[in-house]
Chain A
Amino acid sequence: MADPILSVRGLETFFHGDEGIVRAVDGASFDLFPGRTLGIVGESGCGKSVTARSILRIVERPGRVENGSVLLRRADGSTVDLVKLDASSREMREVRGGEIGYVFQEPMSSLSAYHTIGNQLMEAIRLHRTVTKAEARDRAIELLRMVGIPRPEQRVDSYSFELSGGLRQRVMIALSLAAEPRILIADEPTTALDVTTQAQILELIRRIQEERNLAVVLITHDMGVIAEMADAVAVMYLGKVVETGPVDAIFHAPKHPYTQSLLRSIPSVLAQPLSRLATITGSIPHPFARPAGCPFHPRCPSFMPGTCDTGAPGLTRLAPDHEARCFLYDQPRETSA
Chain B
Amino acid sequence: MVTYILQRLGLALVTIWAISVVSFVIIQLPPGDFVDTYITNLAASGSAVRAEEAQALREQYGLDKPIWVQYWKWISRVATGDFGMSMEWGRPVIEVIGDRLWLTIVISFAAILITWGIALPIGIYSAVRQYSVADYIFTFVGFVGLAVPNFLLALIIMYFGFKLFDLNIGGLFSAEYQIAPWSAGKVWDMMKHLPLPAMILALAGTAQLIRIMRANLLDELRRPYVTTARARGLPEWRVILKYPVRAALNPFASTIGYLLPFVVSGSIVVSLVLSLPTVGPLLLRSLVAQDMFLAGTIVLLLGILTVIGTFLSDLILMWIDPRIRSGMHG
Give A contacts to B, CB under 8 Å: 53, 56, 58, 60, 88, 93-98, 101-102, 104-106, 109-116, 123-124, 127-128, 159, 161-162, 172, 175-176, 178-179
Contact = CB atoms under 8 A, between A and B. Distances in A.
Contacts of B323: 113, 159, 161
A95 B321 contact: no
Interface of B: 223-225, 227-236, 242-243, 246-247, 250, 320-323, 326
A184 B236 CA distance: 22
Contact of A123 (B224, B234, B321): B234
What are the 8 tightest A-B residue pairs by CB atom distance, in nearest-first order? A97-B233, A96-B233, A102-B231, A97-B232, A110-B224, A93-B233, A110-B228, A109-B224
Contact of A159 (B225, B236, B322): B322
A141 to B, nearest CB: 18
Given A98-B233, A110-B227, A111-B228, 13 more contacts: A53-B227, A58-B230, A60-B227, A93-B234, A94-B233, A104-B224, A104-B227, A104-B228, A112-B243, A114-B250, A124-B232, A127-B233, A161-B323
A113 B228 contact: no
A176 B224 CA distance: 14
Given A106-B224, A112-B225, A159-B322, A123 B232 contact: yes
B238 to A, nearest CB: 9
A190 to B, nearest CB: 16
Contact of A114 (B228, B232, B321): B321
A113 B247 contact: yes
A106 B228 CA distance: 10
B115 to A, nearest CB: 24
8 contacts: A58-B227, A93-B234, A101-B231, A114-B246, A162-B326, A175-B228, A176-B232, A179-B233
B254 to A, nearest CB: 15
Given A88-B236, A104-B224, A106-B224, A113 B231 contact: no
Chain B interface, >50% SS class: helix
A109 B232 contact: no
A105 to B, nearest CB: 8
Nearest to A107: B224
Contacts of A102: 228, 231
Given A109-B224, A110-B224, A111-B225, A96 B326 contact: no
Given A109-B224, A112-B225, A159-B326, A56 B231 contact: yes
Nearest to A58: B230
B224 A112 contact: no
Contact of B233 (A109, A115, A128, A159): A128
Contacts of A127: 232-234
A106 B229 CA distance: 14
Contact of B231 (A96, A109, A116, A128): A96
Contacts of B320: 114
Contacts of B225: 109-113
Contacts of B243: 112, 114-115
Nearest to A160: B225
Contacts of B231: 56, 58, 96-97, 101-102, 104, 176
Given A104-B227, A159-B323, A159-B326, A95 B233 contact: yes
Contact of B228 (A93, A162, A172): A172
A95 B236 CA distance: 14
Contact of B247 (A95, A114, A116, A123): A114
B236 A109 contact: no
A93 B233 CA distance: 4
A179 B232 CA distance: 9
Contacts of B322: 113-114, 116, 159, 161
Contacts of A112: 225, 229, 242-243, 246-247
A275 B250 CA distance: 52
Contacts of B232: 96-97, 123-124, 127, 175-176, 178
A14 B247 CA distance: 30
Nearest to B229: A112
A301 B231 CA distance: 40
A48 to B, nearest CB: 15
Tell me which of A60, A114, A128, A179 has the highest count of chain B C-beta atoms within 10 A of its own C-beta. Answer: A114
A96 B230 contact: yes
A117 to B, nearest CB: 11
Contacts of A104: 224, 227-228, 231
A127 B250 CA distance: 26
